[in-house]
Amino acid sequence: MDIFLQQLVNGLVLGSIYALVALGYTMVYGILGLINFAHGDICMIGALTALTVAQALAAMGLPPPLVLALAALAAVLVCVALGVSIERVAYRPLRRAPRLAPLITAIGVSVLLQYSAALVWGKQYLSMPEVVKPSAIVWGGVQLTDLQAFIFLLACALMGALLWFIQSSRMGRAMRATEQNPDVAGLMGVNVNHVIAFTFLLGSAVGAIAGMMVVLYYGVGHYFMGFMLGLKAFTAAVLGGIGNVAGAMLGGLLLGVVESLAAGYIGDLTGGVLGSNYRDVFAFLVLIGVLVFRPSGIMGQHTGDRA
Amino acid sequence: MVRAPVIGLGLALALILPGCGKEAPPPPQKQVATPQPPEAVTVKIGSASPLTGPQAHIGIDIRNGVQLAIEDANAANIEIGGRKVKFELVAEDDEANPTKATTVAQKLVDAKVSAVVGHFNSGASIPASKIYSDAGVPQISPSSTNPKYTLQGFKTTFRVVAHDDQQGPTLGRYAAGAVKAKRVAVIDDSTAYGQGIADAFEATVKAAGAKVLAREHTTDKDTDFKAILTKIKGLKPDLIMFGGIDPQAGPMVKQMAQLGIKAKFMGGDGIQTPNFIKLGGDAAEGVMASIPGLPKDQMPGGKAFLDKYKAKFNAEVELYAPMGYDAVMVFIDAMKRAGSTEPAKFLPELGKTRYQGVIGPIAFDDKGDLVNGPITIYVVKSGKWDPLETVTPGGAPSAEAKK
């Protein structure tokens, strides 16, 4: 039972990171109908920026909370600038183009970001300095570190804030209006270009934090880390119902837990035929299952094709 | 409009063709060449290792060793069969990818290299060795430790490291003996190298009376091992053995610490790198790893080599540079004895090598494996790899290796 709870905790922490990244996919999809495949790589840039800044500042001997705050700030600034410029340069000119064009552009941007990062940071694994030594919180037979708790709580707080923002603020209302119908929203005096740019800004900022969480959690960063992260987060977004913000959060947490439990128990369940290295296969099987039985995702509502 | 050039071409051909039938005048360059004494021949030596990707630091280290050897050989003005020889490095990047390795091997063969030092990964060396064998190009791997590499019946495959059937059991015996491990969990990274060393380890600890509680697998790209480690934690092992490379082992020991796993951790040569300590941080303390060969500074030619390497590349030797260096020297030694740089001529001499290299005495058995390759077990102590014990397996191949 302890092991089960421990796997659940692992899965929830991992899932909260997936959920944060998934938000970036789902918000952009909700408004533009575009799957921004470069989002995982924006998170990677955020992660590596945070890593580099933390390395430099930790070497200067600044106090740990300040190092983390500045690293996060740098990551957010870089990613926001990147996200908004990508939207302006790569996606806005194609807004009225057939749907396939921006999709292919997104893949192109993703590759561009990966190899630019490889040029800047090199292709080796980089290590994140242990700014704060995680100390353990033991709770029954379950052990989690304060770092895990911090990641989970921060992720939940960010998701809560985002939900509130979209439901209650003026900009949030404009975002929802644009989501329902960009043309009508425009006629009602919503500056659609601003709203879209802001959506990218928000998604990139949250993605930067998620990227930083990954390097904090695992201690290593790599120019290719955004690919799998992005794919998993995209899966989470589809799982929850793409375009639905609350769904992305649910999907992320669910995917994290499924993965964790699969890795922990798949070997025993299949009598050792499939090992824990089939964890990813299992995660994607869940996705296929959901798509077959509930194509719009867990929380997605059926909307007409809005091409 | 289209016709005109065609007619022009026809005319040109008509003018050239009659000339072809007659005895062509000797080209002027030939006249210059004949009176000279035999000119220096250029001999290309291939180096194949991952120069990009997560294992680039180890691959570049090997290439640097090869480069150093070639520069030293050129500085020594070596003559083979009465002709001066200039050696040239052809370095290729196999990205630690078995598919890319075969492409690179073909590229080296097409570039007419006389010999190849490589590859780093067993998973790359094994498929590539077929191509070198077909082309008759001798290959010395500085680092591939999977037993299968030399068991394919190729005459061209050699290595200057002990293999996993020696390394894995050495680790296993050490775990059951000196470490007194009774309950063991084994993880591998699903590569030829990782599985090979983990299998050999598992067989030996079992034979030595320890219980293997779990055999888990991950991949050589993953950084999340929380789920596997949690499962292992529940089984309460006193030792975890990982068959794999440092980009995984570093995060793995960190996550072990986060989960509060107190078990000891050990692995093969893939984690015995400075990079592992960098990635693992404080959690790397106390980790044990074996590595074929003597400690760098205890190698017969170690000190001088380390200084030379540092002076040239302004970097510390990562792992296999001395093996890469010696591999080139072994090739040149065989060429000298054969009096030829032709692979077909010096290949028989390669098998008879008795060479005193940086890493110690080098001789091959009939499969091409290093005879009496020593294995050293290290432990991380205050952020550095400290040698614990050197074992010579005595060159006795294990029973299953014969098949």
Residue pLDDT, tens place only, B182-208: 999 999 998 888 998 999 999 999 999
Query: Minimal Cα distance from A217: which residue of B?
Result: B255
Q: Are residues B288 and B300 in the same domain?
A: no
Neighbours of B373 (CB within 10 A): 23
Q: What are phi and psi of B182, to 5 degrees?
A: -110, -35
- Are B129 and B117 a contacting pair, CB within 8 Å? no
Task: For chain A, say whether B285 makes contact (Cβ under 8 Å).
Answer: no
pTM > 0.90: yes or no: no
Q: Which among B228, B234, B275 is the nearest to A263, CB-wise? A: B228
Contact B230 A7 (CB under 8 A): yes
* CA atoms of A207 and A201, how far apart (whole Å): 10
Q: Is residue B198 part of a domain?
A: yes
Q: CA A186 → CA A63, A166, A177, A193, distances in Å? A: 48, 18, 9, 9
Please list every residue in chain A whose beta carbon sits closer than 8 Å to the beta carbon of residue B262: none
Torsion of CA A211, A213, A219, A221, to 10 degrees: 0
Give B234 to chain A, closest Cα distance, Å: 6
CATH at B300:
3.40.50.2300
Select from A2, A48, A127, A148 the residue whose CB has the most chain B CBs within 10 Å, as the one to mutate to test that interface: A127
Q: Which among A133, A136, A218 is the nearest to B224, CB-wise? A: A218
Percent of chain A with pLDDT over 70: 97
Domain residue limits at B396? 165-292+376-402
Task: For chain A, say whether B227 makes contact (Cβ under 8 Å).
Answer: yes
Q: Which pair of tokens denotes residue A250?
A: 């649910």
Q: Is the pLDDT of residue A294 over 60?
A: yes
Contact A3 B228 (CB under 8 A): no
Q: Quick one: residue A69, left, alpha or beta (phi over 0 = left, psi -120 to 50 = alpha)?
A: alpha
Query: β-strands B288-292, B264-267: how paired?
Result: parallel
Contacts of A183 (CB under 8 A, 6+ apart): none
Confidence of residue A84 (pLDDT cuts 50, 70, 90): very high
Q: Is residue B15 part of a domain?
A: no
Q: Which pair of tokens denotes residue A75?
A: 């990551």
Please list every residue in chain A whose beta carbon sits closer than 8 Å to the beta carbon of residue B231: 3, 7, 263-265, 267, 276
Torsion of CA B240, B241, B247, B251, to 10 degrees: 0
Mean pLDDT of B58-67: 94
Residues of A with CB under 8 A from a CB of B: 2-3, 6-7, 10-11, 14, 122-125, 127, 130, 133-134, 136, 138, 143, 145, 147-148, 218-220, 222, 224-225, 228, 259-265, 267, 272, 275-277, 279
Q: Is residue B105 part of a domain?
A: yes
Mean pLDDT of B383-398: 70
Question: Which residue has tokens 């120019």?
Answer: A223
Contact B250 A127 (CB under 8 A): yes
Contact B230 A275 (CB under 8 A): no
pLDDT at B37 (0 to 100): 56
pLDDT at A305 (0 to 100): 44
Q: Are residues B384 and B259 in the same domain?
A: yes
Three state DSSP letters for chain B = CCHHHHHHHHHHHHHHHHHHHCCCCCCHHHHHHCCCCCCCEEEEEEEEECCCCCCHHHHHHHHHHHHHHHHHHHHCCCEECCEEEEEEEEEEECCCCHHHHHHHHHHHHHCCCCEEEECCCHHHHHHHHHHHHHHCCCEEECCCCCHHHHCCCCCCEEECCCCHHHHHHHHHHHHHCCCCCCEEEEEECCCHHHHHHHHHHHHHHHHCCCEEEEEEECCCCCCCCHHHHHHHHHHCCCEEEEECCHHHHHHHHHHHHHHCCCCEEEECHHHCCHHHHHHHHHHHCCCEEEEECCCHHHCCCHHHHHHHHHHHHCCCCCCCHHHHHHHHHHHHHHHHHHCCCCHHHHHHHHCCCCEEECCEEECECCCCCECCCCEEEEEEECCEEEEEEEECCCCCCCHHHHC
Q: Is residue B20 part of a domain?
A: no
Confidence of residue A11 (pLDDT cuts 50, 70, 90): very high
Task: For chain A, say whether B19 makes contact (Cβ under 8 Å).
Answer: no
Give B205 to chain A, closest Cα distance, Å: 20
Q: Is residue B139 part of a domain?
A: yes
pLDDT at A256 (0 to 100): 93
Give A89 to chain B, closest Cα distance, Å: 30
* CA atoms of A120 and A103, how far apart (whole Å): 26
pLDDT at A44 (0 to 100): 96
* DSSP string across chain A: -HHHHHHHHHHHHHHHHHHHHHHHHHHHHHHH----TTHHHHHHHHHHHHHHHHHHHHHHT--HHHHHHHHHHHHHHHHHHHHHHHIIIIIGGGTTS-THHHHHHHHHHHHHHHHHHHHHH-SS-EE---SS---EEEETTEEEEHHHHHHHHHHHHHHHHHHHHHHHSHHHHHHHHHHH-HHHHHHTT--HHHHHHHHHHHHHHHHHHHHHHHHHHHSEE-TTHHHHHHHHHHHHHHHH-TT-HHHHHHHHHHHHHHHHHHHHHHHHHTTTSS-GGGHHHHHHHHHHHHHHH-TT-SSPPP-----
Contact B279 A276 (CB under 8 A): no
Task: For chain A, say whether B298 makes contact (Cβ under 8 Å).
Answer: no
Question: Which residue has tokens 């050999």?
Answer: B200
Select from A125, A143, A217, A266 the residue whose CB has the most chain B CBs within 10 Å, as the one to mutate to test that interface: A125
Q: Is residue B29 part of a domain?
A: no
Contact A10 B230 (CB under 8 A): yes
Number of structural domains, chain B? 2
Question: Which residue has tokens 């030939």?
Answer: B30
A228-237, B65-74, B322-331, B366-375: least confident range: B366-375
Task: For chain A, say whether B39 makes contact (Cβ under 8 Å).
Answer: no
Contact A220 B282 (CB under 8 A): no
Task: For chain A, say whether B262 makes contact (Cβ under 8 Å).
Answer: no
Task: For chain A, say whether B100 makes contact (Cβ under 8 Å).
Answer: no
Contact B279 A147 (CB under 8 A): no
Q: Tell me the β-bridge partners of A277.
A: none
Contact A14 B226 (CB under 8 A): yes
A-B C-beta contacts closer than 8 Å: 102
* CA atoms of A17 and A23, how far apart (whole Å): 10
- Are B250 and B380 a contacting pair, CB within 8 Å? no
pLDDT digits (tens, 9 = 90+) for B204-258: 999 999 999 988 988 888 888 988 998 898 899 999 999 999 899 999 999 998 8
Q: Are residues B311 and B328 in the same domain?
A: yes
Q: Are residues B218 and B352 in the same domain?
A: no
Please list every residue in chain B whose beta carbon sits closer than 8 Å to the beta carbon of residue A133: 282
Q: Are residues B111 and B232 in the same domain?
A: no
Q: Is residue B6 part of a domain?
A: no
Q: Are residues B288 and B171 in the same domain?
A: yes
Contact A264 B228 (CB under 8 A): yes
A271-285, B38-52, B186-200, B303-317: least confident range: A271-285
pLDDT digits (tens, 9 = 90+) for B43-60: 999 999 999 887 888 899
Give B53 to chain A, closest Cα distance, Å: 5
A127-136, B30-39, B105-114, B364-373: least confident range: B30-39
Query: Minimal Cα distance from A261: which residue of B?
Result: B227
Q: Are residues B337 and B352 in the same domain?
A: yes
- Are B120 and B320 a contacting pair, CB within 8 Å? yes
Interface of B with A in 55-74 (CB under 8 A): 56-57
Give A36 to chain B, closest Cα distance, Å: 24
Task: For chain A, say whether B243 makes contact (Cβ under 8 Å).
Answer: no
Closest CA to B385 of B336, B319, B311: B319
Q: Are residues B202 and B276 in the same domain?
A: yes
Q: Which pair of tokens denotes residue B23?
A: 């005895």
pLDDT at B1 (0 to 100): 43
Q: Which among B223, B259, B281 is the nearest to A130, CB-wise? A: B281
Q: Are residues B153 and B214 in the same domain?
A: no
Q: Are residues B240 and B305 in the same domain?
A: no
In our burial notation (b when 16+ CB lie closer than 10 A, e otherwise), range B169-186 reads: bbbbbbbbeebebeebbb
pLDDT at B3 (0 to 100): 47
* CA atoms of A271 and A280, how far apart (whole Å): 18
Q: CA B45 → CA B61, B71, B138, B332, B368, distances in Å? A: 16, 12, 10, 10, 19
Q: Is residue B246 part of a domain?
A: yes
Please list every residue in chain B whose beta carbon sits closer than 8 Å to the beta carbon of residue A271: none
Contact B230 A6 (CB under 8 A): yes
Q: Which pair of tokens denotes residue A150?
A: 């911090």
C-alpha B378 chain-centroid distance:
20
Closest CA to A212 of A278, A269, A283, A154: A154
Q: Are residues B73 and B117 in the same domain?
A: yes
Contact B53 A123 (CB under 8 A): yes
pLDDT at A94 (0 to 100): 92
Neighbours of A36 (CB within 10 A): 32
pLDDT digits (tens, 9 = 90+) for A122-170: 888 888 887 777 777 887 778 788 888 999 999 999 999 999 999 999 9
Q: Are residues B278 and B182 in the same domain?
A: yes
Confidence of residue B393 (pLDDT cuts 50, 70, 90): low
- Are B89 and B61 a contacting pair, CB within 8 Å? no
* CA atoms of B58 and B270, how far apart (whole Å): 9
CA dihedral over A51, A52, A54, A55, signed as positive or negative: positive
Task: For chain A, say whether B221 makes contact (Cβ under 8 Å).
Answer: yes
Query: Minimal Cα distance from A222: which residue of B?
Result: B54
C-alpha B29 chain-centroid distance:
42
Structural domain boundaries of chain A?
18-226
Contacts of A266 (CB under 8 A, 6+ apart): A274, A275, A276, A278, A279, A282
pLDDT at B219 (0 to 100): 87
Q: Which among B218, B250, B275 is the nearest to A276, CB-wise? A: B218
Contact A277 B278 (CB under 8 A): no
Q: Which among B56, B214, B223 is the nearest to A220, CB-wise? A: B223
Q: Which pair of tokens denotes residue B300?
A: 């017969």
Q: What type of residue sits at position A170?
A: R
Give A131 to chain B, closest Cα distance, Å: 11
